[in-house]
């Protein structure tokens, strides 16, 4: 009859025959009674609190336990983890072999933490400090909860592993297509379009739609999953670059003379004559800004929601050919022929930063989606990966026989670059590490030299634009498996797209807020705080937050004579003085400790160092 699994070790053993008092058979609706006999093992420690939280059940049990359990007949509001493990018996009498809350991996919790605890805030009042502590505790709690909710993510990322030392780079696309299910195999296709020149392509933000433009004027937009063509036109002019705007409804095409905006039905909507001879386009989705780099050396930002040019910055570096955006902070990276990469924001006339990357000119730049790594390739045949957060130093370098062109990062951190007509993909160890350039993960040869590369968002697919047309390659492990339905949903309906568009326009970030750290708005504005404080001191004539001078409390019974008051004041003054001296000594120690490790060898000039 007993089919319950064996209980864990911390359950008291069954009553042996030595014990005289026979235990009443426990009904499944009754709670565990407290073993009153001396012979029974104590079991795990039980606190009175847990006993009080147990719910009151049937009337007879209630009468029995009335004296022990509290009178409140409430269902316990505390989470289940706090209950005594002994009381966790299920209906069948089984016991939870893993009592307590489930463990959560620390890295996952770290992912959701947003407060930088190492940062010191300026000295504030006790009230502010207590509120900050409360906020920090809350943040920890919520990040644990968010880490637990990761369990609900339905999809797993793809992978490709070679057996027994097999090199994954030698696996060809045909093999992968054979080994994979039909739906995924259908994602690999080739469009042979030799007539209209090398193609550049762009996927929409949800990854559902593809737009491509050939050098001789062929422009098309289609839903590549269902292979439904939205429009196909020839603009009768050279097409240099093509981009989707915020949704699949609008296309921006950089033609020979000016910038044109088309509908997805092929209707020309706008011809923007202020942006002339544009070579490259980038769309900043959360700011609704279209950044254009032109041959005249100007970087122009066009706000597509109101149709105004927000900023036209002169990069003062000649022809602008190489442009990429950093999706993490919406900063534009421009590559120049003197080997530098400059970082631009529409708020400033000068670049935010300039990084010297290569000995020759910079051929191509790409930044990964978290804004941590930047891949650059130069005319010196080198492919470098830089660290963008913190030190702007190269993390890894690789000399390639052909220079790498058109690098691109995938959502999960894979890097692709085109070398002639061969496409190379490099992968990293995990999601957080940079791709290792030692060995490529996958390679593929195309029918012509490569002119455009982009990973499809949320899919394990790489789109390649080359002189022979468009190829869609399978790259297992490239796409983010679990999308967020409210941000970009590839399966959204027309109504959902309309609602999303309205909300996105309402929370459009103004261009002035673009800077290197996107969380800069959340920081305490220390400069203004200190300035305000100075002004307040000036206005009031004294510092209201300064410590008031010590006033000895008046005491009774003759303890308040002048001499004793003076003595008390003296005591406090000496104490403060001692504290100050101690602090200054500590600071000196710190300075010396910092200074020592830098100088390894003693030199003759040390005697002049202060």
Tell me how far apart the alpha carbons of residues 356 and 515 are, in angstroms, rounded to a whole number.
20
Q: Name the residue nearer to other proteins (CB basis): 225 or 400.
A: 225
Minimum CB–partner distance for residue 548 and other proteins (Å): 9
Minimum CB–partner distance for residue 532 and other proteins (Å): 11
Q: Name the residue nearer to other proteins (CB basis): 375 or 474.
A: 474
Q: Name the residue nearer to other proteins (CB basis): 10 or 535.
A: 535
Starting at the edge strand found earlier in the chain, the sheet holding 382-387 runs 362-367, 373-378, 382-387, 394-399
Q: Name the residue nearer to other proteins (CB basis): 249 or 537.
A: 537
Minimum CB–partner distance for residue 5 and other proteins (Å): 33
Q: Name the residue nearer to other proteins (CB basis): 503 or 589.
A: 503
Minimum CB–partner distance for residue 262 and other proteins (Å): 27
Q: Name the residue nearer to other proteins (CB basis): 38 or 506.
A: 506
Minimum CB–partner distance for residue 169 and other proteins (Å): 12
Minimum CB–partner distance for residue 388 and other proteins (Å): 14
Minimum CB–partner distance for residue 481 and other proteins (Å): 5
Angle at 258 between CA 257 and CA 260, to 5 degrees: 135
Minimum CB–partner distance for residue 173 and other proteins (Å): 11
Tell me how far apart the alpha carbons of residues 434 and 578 are, in angstroms, rounded to a whole number.
52
Minimum CB–partner distance for residue 149 and other proteins (Å): 7
Q: Where are the alpha helices (DSSP H) in 354-416?
A: none
Tell me how far apart the alpha carbons of residues 282 and 325 are, in angstroms, rounded to a whole number.
7
- Cβ neighbourhood burial of 385 (10 Å; 0-12, 13-18, 19+): buried
Rounding to the nearest 10 degrees, give the CA dihedral for residues 408, 414, 418, 423.
-140
63 three-class SS: helix
Q: Name the residue nearer to other proteins (CB basis): 13 or 532.
A: 532
Q: Which of 395, 398, 377 is nearest to 385 (CA)?
A: 395
Q: DSSP letter at 285?
A: T
Minimum CB–partner distance for residue 527 and other proteins (Å): 14
Minimum CB–partner distance for residue 144 and other proteins (Å): 13
Q: Name the residue nearer to other proteins (CB basis): 400 or 513.
A: 513
Tell me how far apart the alpha carbons of residues 255 and 238 are, in angstroms, rounded to a whole number.
6
Minimum CB–partner distance for residue 486 and other proteins (Å): 6
Q: Which of 250, 240, 335, 332 is nearest to 287 (CA)?
A: 332
Within 8 A by CB and 6+ apart from 18, the residues are 39
Q: Name the residue nearer to other proteins (CB basis): 134 or 581.
A: 134
Tell me how far apart the alpha carbons of residues 276 and 285 are, in angstroms, rounded to a whole number.
22
Q: Name the residue nearer to other proteins (CB basis): 286 or 392.
A: 286
Tell me how far apart the alpha carbons of residues 351 and 453 are, in angstroms, rounded to a whole number.
27
Check the CA dihedral 573-577-583-587 and report its sign.
positive
What's the Rg (C-alpha) of the chain? 34
DSSP lists the bridge partners of residue 276 as 258
Q: Name the residue nearer to other proteins (CB basis): 172 or 271.
A: 172
Q: Which residue has the tokens 């455009």?
A: 452
Q: Name the residue nearer to other proteins (CB basis): 16 or 163.
A: 163
C-beta of residue 283 within 8 angstroms of C-beta of residue 250: no
Q: Where are the alpha helices (DSSP H) in 383-493?
A: none
In sequence order, what DSSP letters do the residues of 206-228 get, joined into one string? TSSEEEEEETTSEEEEEETTTTE
Q: Name the residue nearer to other proteins (CB basis): 12 or 158.
A: 158
What is the bridge-based pairing of β-strands 461-466 and 331-335?
A: unpaired
Within 8 A by CB and 6+ apart from 464, the residues are 201, 418, 423, 444, 446, 450, 452, 453, 470, 471, 472, 473
Q: Which residues bind other proteins (CB under 8 A)?
A: 111-112, 114, 146, 149, 153-163, 166, 168, 171, 175-176, 179-181, 183-184, 187, 286, 327-328, 330, 369-370, 459-460, 474, 476-477, 479-487, 489-491, 493, 495-496, 506-510, 513, 518-522, 540-542
Minimum CB–partner distance for residue 496 and other proteins (Å): 6
């Amino acid at each position: 009859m007993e089919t319950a699994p064996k209980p864990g070790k911390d359950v008291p053993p069954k009553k042996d025959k030595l014990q005289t008092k026979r235990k009443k058979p426990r009904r499944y609706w009754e709670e565990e009674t407290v073993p009153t006999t001396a012979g029974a093992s104590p079991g795990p420690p039980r606190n009175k609190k847990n006993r009080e939280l147990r719910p009151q059940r049937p009337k007879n049990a209630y009468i029995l336990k009335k004296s022990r359990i509290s009178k409140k007949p409430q269902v316990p509001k505390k989470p289940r983890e706090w209950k005594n493990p002994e009381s966790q018996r299920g209906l069948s009498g089984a016991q939870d072999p893993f009592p307590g809350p489930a463990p959560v991996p620390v890295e996952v919790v770290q992912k959701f933490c947003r407060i930088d605890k190492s940062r010191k805030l300026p000295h504030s009042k006790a009230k502010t400090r207590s509120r900050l502590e409360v906020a920090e505790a809350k943040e920890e709690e919520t990040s644990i909860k968010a880490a637990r909710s990761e369990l609900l993510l339905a999809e797993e990322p793809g992978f490709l592993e070679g057996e027994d030392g097999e090199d994954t780079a030698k696996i060809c696309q045909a093999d992968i297509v054979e080994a994979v299910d039909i739906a995924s195999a259908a994602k690999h296709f080739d469009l042979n379009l030799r007539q209209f020149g090398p193609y550049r392509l762009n996927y929409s933000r949800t990854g559902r739609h593809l737009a491509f433009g050939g050098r001789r004027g062929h422009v098309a937009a289609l839903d590549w999953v269902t292979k439904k063509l939205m429009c196909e036109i020839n603009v009768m002019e050279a097409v240099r670059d093509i981009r989707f705007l915020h949704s699949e409804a609008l296309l921006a095409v950089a033609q020979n003379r000016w910038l044109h905006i088309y509908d997805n039905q092929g209707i020309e909507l706008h011809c923007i004559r202020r942006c002339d001879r544009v070579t490259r386009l980038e769309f900043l989705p959360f700011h609704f800004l279209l950044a254009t780099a032109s041959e005249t050396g100007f970087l122009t930002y066009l706000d597509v929601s109101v149709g105004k040019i927000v900023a036209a910055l002169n990069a003062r570096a000649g022809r602008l050919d190489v442009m990429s955006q950093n999706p993490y902070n919406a900063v534009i990276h421009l590559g120049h022929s003197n080997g530098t990469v400059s970082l631009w924001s529409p708020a400033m006339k000068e670049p935010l930063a300039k990084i010297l990357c290569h000995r020759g000119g910079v051929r191509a730049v790409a930044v990964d989606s978290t804004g941590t790594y930047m891949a650059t390739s130069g005319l010196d045949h080198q492919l470098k990966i830089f660290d963008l957060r913190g030190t702007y130093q190269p993390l890894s370098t690789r000399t390639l026989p052909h220079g790498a062109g058109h690098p691109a990062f995938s959502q999960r951190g894979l890097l692709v670059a085109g070398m002639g007509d061969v496409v190379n993909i490099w992968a990293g160890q995990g999601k957080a590490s940079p791709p290792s350039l030692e060995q490529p993960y996958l390679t593929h040869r195309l029918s012509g030299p490569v002119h455009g590369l982009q990973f499809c968002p949320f899919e394990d697919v790489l789109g390649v634009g080359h002189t022979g047309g468009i190829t869609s390659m399978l790259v297992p492990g490239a796409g983010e498996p679990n999308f967020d339905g409210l941000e970009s949903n590839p399966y959204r309906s027309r109504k959902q797209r309309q609602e999303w568009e309205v909300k996105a326009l309402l929370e459009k970030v103004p261009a002035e807020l673009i800077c290197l750290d996107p969380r800069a708005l959340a920081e305490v504005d220390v400069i203004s705080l200190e300035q305000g404080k100075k002004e307040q001191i000036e206005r009031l004539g004294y510092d209201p937050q300064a410590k008031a001078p010590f006033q000895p409390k008046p005491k009774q019974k003759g303890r308040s004579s002048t001499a004793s008051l003076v003595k008390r004041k003296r005591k406090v003054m000496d104490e403060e003085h001692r504290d100050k001296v101690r602090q200054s000594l500590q600071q000196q120690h710190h300075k010396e400790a910092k200074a020592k490790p830098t100088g390894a060898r003693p030199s003759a000039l040390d005697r002049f160092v202060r």
